[in-house]
Amino acid sequence: MLIDSYNLVKTRVQEALRRSGREEDVLILAVSKTRTVEEIRELYDAGVRDFGENYVQELMAKQPLLPSDIRWHMIGHLQRNKVKYIAPFIYMIHSVDTASLADTIEKEAAKCGRVIPVLIEVNVAGEESKYGVSPEEVPALAAQIGRLQHVSMKGLMTSAPLADDPEEVRPVFRKLRQIGVDMNLENVNNVRVDVLSMGMSNDFEVAVEEGAGCVRIGTTIFGPRDYSGR
């Protein structure tokens, strides 16, 4: 059963918290891209409410078929012209990496009478294949978001490079945590780094040890993905 895999992740998160001396809660975000409505409902029926999707089209297909109290998180690259489709219901957007995207979210959230929580995506490792702002660009983007009325910056997100040994990417998570600490010391209006979204199936325990408040777990919960239909 999928809930058994989910609970195993929860146990591993708790062990990582103990190792690091942390007492905070960590959100386990079930990454449901390419997964069926039936699989999502199985976890929902067992009490899971937070699910992450990478593609707007896939999210739009699933959302009407599932309970309305699911908290949907957009974790993939988001094009400005697709914001309007998810603005009415999205719980959090983890992948804001430009001021123009933040402005579009502001416009669409205002139309819906909502304030949408967002995270700034940071390309800590400087990988050319990944989206996200550089660490040096975070303060300026955060300040711009802080001036918006219908967008609320809640923290930062990063994806570490794939590595055989999770210890190799520990510095990436440590760097994101330090960026968050520095941002909070700056005390920019309407900007708080309360959430660090970092860590996936292959490295989430190290991410938790380094301060993750949200881990994005797909394969370890659902099993290997089948991309043959994409």
Q: Domain of residue 84: give its range.
A: 2-222
227 occurs within a structural domain: no
pLDDT of 228 > 80? The answer is: no
Residue 70 lies in a domain: yes
| CB contact at 8 A, 156 and 138 | yes
What is the 3-class SS of 85-137, one letter each residue?
A: HHCCCCCEEEEECCHHHHHHHHHHHHHHCCCEEEEEEECCCCCCCCCCECHHH
Contacts of 127 (CB under 8 A, 6+ apart): 161
Answer yes or no: is pLDDT of 16 > 70. yes
Cα angle 196, 197, 199 (rounded to 5 degrees) comes to 115
Using CA atoms in the order 69, 75, 81, 85, what is the torsion angle rounded to 10 degrees? -10
CA distance 151 to 216: 22
Reported as a single tens digit per residue, the pLDDT across 186-224 is 888 888 999 999 999 999 999 999 999 999 999 999 998
Per-residue pLDDT tens over the stretch 88-111 = 999 999 999 999 999 999 999 999
Q: CA 178, 215, 179: angle at the middle one, nearest 5?
A: 10
- 140 within some domain: yes
Q: Name residues whose C-beta falls within 8 Å of residue 50's C-beta, 6 or more positions apart in sequence.
A: 27, 28, 29, 30, 70, 71, 73, 91
For residue 218, report the phi and psi dihedrals to the nearest 5 degrees.
-110, -75
In a domain, 74, yes or no: yes
Residue appearing with tokens 């999205």: 90
Residue 230 forms part of a structural domain: no
In a domain, 188, yes or no: yes
The reported pLDDT for the residue numbered 225 is: 75
Tokens 């440590």 sit at which residue?
174
Euclidean distance between CA atoms 22 and 14, whole angstroms: 9
The count of domains in the chain is 1
- Other C-beta atoms closer than 10 Å to the C-beta of 128 total 5
pLDDT at 188: 80
Q: How does pLDDT run across 58-85, given as a tens digit for each residue?
A: 999 999 999 999 999 999 999 999 999 9
In a domain, 228, yes or no: no
List pLDDT tens digits, range 148-173: 999 999 999 999 999 999 999 999 99
Residue 205 falls within a domain, yes or no? yes
Predicted TM-score (pTM) of the model is: 0.96
State the DSSP H helix or E strand holding residue 37, giving kind and residue range, or none if neither.
helix 37-45
pLDDT at position 128 over 80:
yes
CATH number at residue 7: 3.20.20.10
Q: Determine the Cα–Cα distance for residues 62 and 60; give it in Å rounded to an integer.
A: 6
Say if CB 29 and CB 217 are below 8 A apart: yes
